Structure 1
Amino acid sequence: MNLIEIVVEGKGSALAEIDGRNPRTAREIYERLPLEAKAQLWGDEVYFELPFALTDENPSPSSEAGDVSFWTPGSAFCIFFGGTQPYSAVNHIGRIVSGIDVFPGVEEGDRIILRQGEG
């Protein structure tokens, strides 16, 4: 377990490398892949609800461009690609290592698929 591929249908894909800051959260998401959802936007953040709840593990109130996180109050997978900060604390699970340029072109309702990455 170390990569998650994030496919934005018709627009491209990105790879996120899982880190060790919130290993339980990352493992629980990774083991449920593949997952599919419709994109929602908030500033420089693409997010979407996942069909399960997780609890806070080591939540952080801030993010940097490229961070991939899970927001427990909304059961949302979050991809930060600019200066937007989380609405409230998130469980950081990794960083985009390639393809971050796909996210500024994402529109509300775009189909997103999360799957285990190769590399």
Structure 2
Amino acid sequence: MRHILIKAGNVTIRARLLSTPTADRIWDSLPMHGAVQTWGREVYFRTSISPDIEPDARTVVSKGEIAFWPDGDAITIGFGATPISKRGEIRFTSKCNVWAIALDDVDQLKGVYAGEEITVMEAELAEPGWQGNSPAPPLHRARRHNRLHAGACPIDDANG
């Protein structure tokens, strides 16, 4: 079973990869680094890969599902409502491929701010001795500072 760590600001989240073409592409591209962008209760970052939309891609995901946004070439993690959500759902701007499941509480991402560094890496490389069944590495809260704004919609990104 393949596991990763997502480190953003002072937050660390473990995740288990699913058996999907997108998960395979991401796994083969690790480690990945970028700058956090936010949109409501969504954290995402641009990547250098461009997987195709998978047949089961969707715009609404469940908390803890980690997705890839093909229209923006970005890894995205929704942890609550976005500006277009209805009745508390987690809704992205277009269909996304779900490729991993978080093993830790994604609500920690409330403490991550636009512009902070984000890294996705193999868990075994990041935390020697940690295997998927062992206790998680320590989880940290991000320190308070002014929030940078990524814009009203991920599509309107000035960087891309």
Shared fold (TM-score greater than 0.5)? yes
* C-alpha distance in 2 between matches for 1:69 and 1:101: 16
Percent identity over paired residues: 28
* C-alpha distance in 2 between matches for 1:87 and 1:99: 23
In terms of fraction of residues, the more strand-rich structure is 1
1:46-90 Cα deviation digits (max 9, x unpaired): 001001211111311211111100010110100111233111110
| Structure 2 partner of 1:27 | 24
Instruction: Please give the secondary structure, in 2, of the residue aligned with 1:74.
Output: coil
Say which structure, 1 or 2, has more relative contact order (CA 8 Å, 6+ apart).
1
Runs (5+) with no aligned partner, structure 2? 82-89, 125-130, 132-160
* CA apart distance, 1:4: 1.6
Give the counterpart letter for 1:68 in structure 2: I
**TM-score for the superposition, normalised by structure 2:** 0.68
1:22-52 Cα deviation digits (max 9, x unpaired): x111000011100100000011110010012
**Which has the greater radius of gyration?**
2
Runs of 4+ in 1 over 4 A off after TM superposition: none
| Structure 1 partner of 2:17 | 18
**TM-score for the superposition, normalised by structure 1:** 0.90
1:20-59 superposed matches below 5 A: 20=19, 23-58=20-55, 59=57
What count of residue pairs does the alignment treat as equivalent? 116
